[in-house]
Structure 1
Amino acid sequence: LDRHRHRRALRVRTRSRRYSLFDDGKMIVFRAAGEPTRVHVVQIWQTPFTSAEYAATAPTDGSFLAKVGNAELVRGISDAYTLVTFARNDAPTRASFEELIAATTRFEDAYFWVSNPEAGNLREAVAALRGTTELIIDEFEKVAAIRARASEALARAADEQRDLVAKILSSDLSHLDAFMHALTDLRKQRGKLISLREMREMDLVTVDALENEVAGQFDGVSGKCVTFLLEGDAFGPLNARIEQLLGQIDAVAKVVELEPLGADLNGVQEGLTLLSEVVAGLVVDDATARTKILEGISEVFGQVNRVRASYQAKRRDLSSTEARSEFGAQFALFGQSVAGSLALCDTPERCDEQLSRMLVQLEDLEGRFGEFDEFLTDLTIKREEVTDAFGARRQTLVDERQRKAQSLLTAAERILTGVTRRASKMADADELNAYFASDPMVHKLGDLATQLDALGDSVKAEE
């Protein structure tokens, strides 16, 4: 193809002349004269543009690439450039990476000569490209999963923010509770958006836009809140609500019923804290107005602290009463468990096992009721009683085992004395073997040894 292009270019350059191009690349150029003449100027050039037939029959330098052939080399280089194009894809996908791996495999299978040093050891570069691509595919799935999680979290945050903004815009901000809830919700939403920034593959541009929207809404609600606080008795409904909480706390009879009231009280305090921060950060020209707002917040804080003290005292009283009842039931149940465990102790080893189990249950009771000092004495006494009871039971079993082992040993010694005496009277080996094989007292010795071994006295059993 290159030879033909050069031929056309040569024709253009020699249009005012005549030439002949031979198979070996020699070219004879005749200069064209303006008038007829008997002498013509001829130029002989040696060009690289030989014919295909001549190139095929021309001698080579004997190198490896010459043996491969120009056509094969051109195809290989073309496919190598194709691999480079795949690798430089600006928008890679999993499919493109898989296609690149397949292309590298086809390249290595199609061109055996790429591993030769004269070819620049191209096989190593292609193998490295395939290995890197395989690693990228493994990481590509992880990155895709991370992107999906980030996108899902961002979409969820955007939906929550849209609902929150719509709720605030449609709400009636005519009392202090509404302002506190709105400011608290906006602040929490902004905290969620800040947390999203720490996620990998997060769309920070969208996060910035959402955060700017929240900040704008927060500033707008804050300004309206300050205006509201300067008008009339803004803290009156909140004071009434706190007094209502105090009455509900006094009427509660169970700890579980206190939990919602405690959460409500925490919400009021959180809203007041945020409100004080908002007021402190705003620029109010009238110092008297700022003082009025801060005094109102301080008064409400005082009421909240008073109600919280009542809440904590009520919780302690109810917890103590309920804990006393529960402790009595648990303590009685533990006593029954100890009695049942003692009944199961038929060996010293079982005593150790049951004692460990009872001590674990006792530690669980100490963990649950350890904050009540009135129960610590009972638990300490019970621990000593349990330890002493199982210790006494274990010692009794050990003594019984030793007495039984001694009795078995004494019986075995008597039998062994009789067997020895009778065996000494045997006349020959056959009679002796018959005696040991059939005499019940000899078999009794084996049974006694087995019983001693079962009692854990292997020394006496071997004797």
Structure 2
Amino acid sequence: SEEYSIANSSEKTFLATIGNAELVQGISELYTITKMISEQQPSILIYEDLIKNIQRVIDGYYWLESDEVGEFSKQLKQIGDTSELVLDEFEKVRAISQQSSLALKQAEDKLKALLKEIAISNWDTPAPFVDGLLKLKRQKGHLLSLKEYRYIDLEKLDKISDKVDSQIEELGKRTIAFLSQDDAMDYYTKVVNEVHESIEKIKTVKDLRPILQQLDEMSHGLDALSEVINGLEIDDTTVKTQILEDVSGIYSRINQTKAHAKLTAKELSATESVAEFGAQLAVLSQSISNGVSNADTPDACDEQLARLMVQLEELESIFSENDEFLDQIYVKRDELHETFEARKQTLLDARQRKAQSLQNAAARILKSIEKRSLKFSESDELNTYFSSDATVMKVGDLVLKLREIDDSVKADDVQAKLKALKEQAIRSLRDKKDIFEDGGNAIKLGKHKFSVNTQALDLTILPKDEKLAFHLSGTEYYQVVDNDLLNECQQFWQQTLVSENRDIYRAEYLAYSIFSNALANKQQLSLEKLTQSEKDLAQIVKDYAAPRYQEGYEKGVHDFDASLILAELLKKYQIQPLLKFTPAARGIANYFWHYADEKSQKYFKQQAKTAQSIKNSFASS
């Protein structure tokens, strides 16, 4: 018996410690697993049971991991892992099968709906026939794509595909029968004729676009019809030829209508473009005027020019197809560049003149400071003078003004001279004084400090020592201009604008220009137009001054003053029109008339009347 064997055993083995009963149960479980593997009918349920049994055996019989019994646990774990992989594949196959079945069901439902639509037999235009055939062919292509699906029911798919083939054949016969009728293309002919007639009533390009779209859609429909006809088997060649000729005739009519529509669109676009271009150009001109007013520094000139060039390029891209518009755009581009370059140069020249004036004023003050600083005998008095005296503070103000106009070289020069004066005065009181650096903005070489110039070099011409000289801004470089013609024009050296000098105010020049043009009936001006009303006169002055950027009129300032001057001038002219002539000319004429004989007076009166009549007749030419 088992008890006897255990009692009389000379040594204890690993299997003996387990016990015979548990060994038999464990072996039985292993045999069951082996049988499940060898006699299985592959299914999800079988593999799920197999995985559960393996896990139960591993958990229930710990000794299966031992080397003495062959490490069954490792083998069981490998079988369990493999079973889980197989189970995952089962899940994938089931998911794919469901997707394939769903796709096949959707295709079948779609075909049923399509066949129901095709069953309608009262079609009176080619379009439904063509649309039906194209849909059936697309459905046929979709069914061919479904054959690539895994685990799909190919037998059922083939039946559906055969049904589609039979429907294509049947609808093709109906299509041929319809297209063989004499009135088959009447629908297209009627629509094209109506479209052609409606084009004459169109007034805008916007209203014409739907018509062009409709013609394109008809062309696509005829393309599809031709494709369908070529794909159908038509035994009677005569019938096929007649159908294709009918289609070709409709094509020709559609192309004619398209050409007519496009020509009309081009004509309408040209008319609309003129108005739009004029408005865009007016906006651009106003932007240029505002840009010049806002450009109060050379950098601002570059910024405004870049902004307006973008606006001009956008205008060019919109109207690039019209050569006449392009010519005006190119003229406006040149005008834009010239205006801002002139404005920038004027600002640079003004900046350099102001900087030179500030530096000269600082030099005069520094001479006064130098004389006073050498008179102090006490260090405290000297420091008090340099820290609080109004004269020294004035030099600091001048330095700040020089920096505000970006002339750091002159500012540093003045500041350095002021410091040098202070150090010179301190050295006279003390033997030694430390030299301090200016926050890293100066280079110290021994006992000397030199400012770093970061200002961009700009070449200007400005008066210096009663001569014109080339000057590099930010430097002390001056080169006298040796030119006799320029030297003869010395009276104009200080004149920065064509419209203003020391004697003539810009508004006076503006009023004179408008008055002169009105007398000569130029620039769409006349005395009658100027004297209509004061409100209209102010607007005329604004419109006249707006495009004349280079003459430097500021909106709201010079145009306002000019309108006041011009109003008074017109009143004086209406009372005494001969005042437009110089006193000398009026005096000579009066003297001549007083001593002329009656015959000469009569002759000149007649000549004057004739000249006035000619002037009145051709005043508008």
Match of 1:114 in 2: none
Choose from 87, 90, 98 the match for 1:89. Answer: 87
Q: Does 1:51 align with 2:27?
A: no
Unaligned residue ranges in structure 1 (runs of 5+): 1-17, 28-45, 55-68, 95-143
CA distance in 1, matches of 2:387, 2:280: 62
Q: Does 1:383 align with 2:319?
A: no
**Cα deviation, residue 419, structure 1:** 0.9
Contact 2:130 2:225 in 1 (8 A): yes
Choose from 287, 310, 320 the match for 1:370. Answer: 320
Which structure: greater helix fraction? 1
* CA deviation map 1:360-418 (0-9, x unaligned): 01110111111122210111111111111111111111111111111111111111111
**Cα deviation, residue 250, structure 1:** 2.0
The 3 A distance-change label for structure 1 pair 209 and 437 is farther
**What is the one-letter code of the residue matched to 1:343?**
S
The 3 A distance-change label for structure 1 pair 88 and 183 is closer
CA distance in 2, matches of 1:296, 1:319: 34
CA distance in 2, matches of 1:189, 1:324: 52
**Cα deviation, residue 72, structure 1:** 6.7
Q: Does 1:22 align with 2:5?
A: yes
Q: Does 1:239 align with 2:205?
A: no
Unaligned residue ranges in structure 2 (runs of 5+): 21-61, 414-621
The 3 A distance-change label for structure 1 pair 436 and 159 is farther
Choose from 293, 305, 317 the match for 2:267. Answer: 317
**Cα deviation, residue 90, structure 1:** 2.0
Q: How does 1:38-117 map to 2 (within 5 A)?
A: 49-52=15-18, 70=63, 77=74, 82=80, 85-90=83-88
Q: Does 1:273 align with 2:223?
A: yes
* CA deviation map 1:119-141 (0-9, x unaligned): xxxxxxxxxxxxxxxxxxxxxxx
SS at match of 1:90: helix
**Cα deviation, residue 223, structure 1:** 2.9
* CA deviation map 1:53-111 (0-9, x unaligned): 89xxxxxxxxxxxxxx95776797466765554454325889xxxxxxxxxxxxxxxxx
Contact 1:348 1:398 in 2 (8 A): yes
Identical residues among aligned pairs (%): 34
The 3 A distance-change label for structure 1 pair 313 and 245 is same
Q: Does 1:393 align with 2:359?
A: no
CA distance in 2, matches of 1:253, 1:152: 54
Contact 2:107 2:143 in 1 (8 A): no
Match of 1:409 in 2: 359
Q: Which has the higher relative contact order, 1 or 2, with Cα contacts under 8 A spaced 6 or more apart?
A: 1
SS at match of 2:184: coil
Contact 1:25 1:49 in 2 (8 A): no
Contact 2:124 2:184 in 1 (8 A): no
SS at match of 1:50: helix
Q: How does 1:2-401 map to 2 (within 5 A)?
A: 22-23=5-6, 49-52=15-18, 70=63, 77=74, 82=80, 85-90=83-88, 166-170=116-120, 172-183=122-133, 218-401=168-351
The 3 A distance-change label for structure 1 pair 181 and 285 is closer
CA distance in 2, matches of 1:290, 1:221: 16
The 3 A distance-change label for structure 1 pair 207 and 251 is farther
CA distance in 1, matches of 2:307, 2:238: 70
Contact 2:101 2:153 in 1 (8 A): no
The 3 A distance-change label for structure 1 pair 178 and 281 is closer
The 3 A distance-change label for structure 1 pair 241 and 404 is same
Q: Does 1:444 align with 2:394?
A: yes
Match of 2:515 in 1: none
The 3 A distance-change label for structure 1 pair 89 and 449 is farther
CA distance in 1, matches of 2:284, 2:8: 111
Contact 1:177 1:238 in 2 (8 A): no
Match of 1:9 in 2: none
Contact 2:204 2:268 in 1 (8 A): yes
CA distance in 2, matches of 1:423, 1:153: 103
SS at match of 1:280: helix
The 3 A distance-change label for structure 1 pair 218 and 420 is farther
**What is the one-letter code of the residue matched to 1:357?**
R
**Cα deviation, residue 161, structure 1:** 7.1
CA distance in 1, matches of 2:278, 2:102: 52
TM-score by length of 2: 0.50
**Cα deviation, residue 153, structure 1:** 11
**What is the one-letter code of the residue matched to 1:408?**
L
Contact 1:22 1:50 in 2 (8 A): no
Choose 327-336 or 170-179, whichever is displaced more. 170-179
**Cα deviation, residue 49, structure 1:** 3.8
**Cα deviation, residue 162, structure 1:** 6.5
**What is the one-letter code of the residue matched to 1:280?**
N
The 3 A distance-change label for structure 1 pair 182 and 339 is farther
Contact 2:133 2:228 in 1 (8 A): no
How many positions carry a matched residue from both structures? 361
**Cα deviation, residue 221, structure 1:** 3.4
SS at match of 1:251: coil
CA distance in 2, matches of 1:411, 1:400: 16
Contact 2:65 2:72 in 1 (8 A): yes
Match of 2:409 in 1: 459
What value does the CA root-mean-square deviation take over the aligned residues? 4.4
The 3 A distance-change label for structure 1 pair 233 and 211 is same
The 3 A distance-change label for structure 1 pair 381 and 425 is same
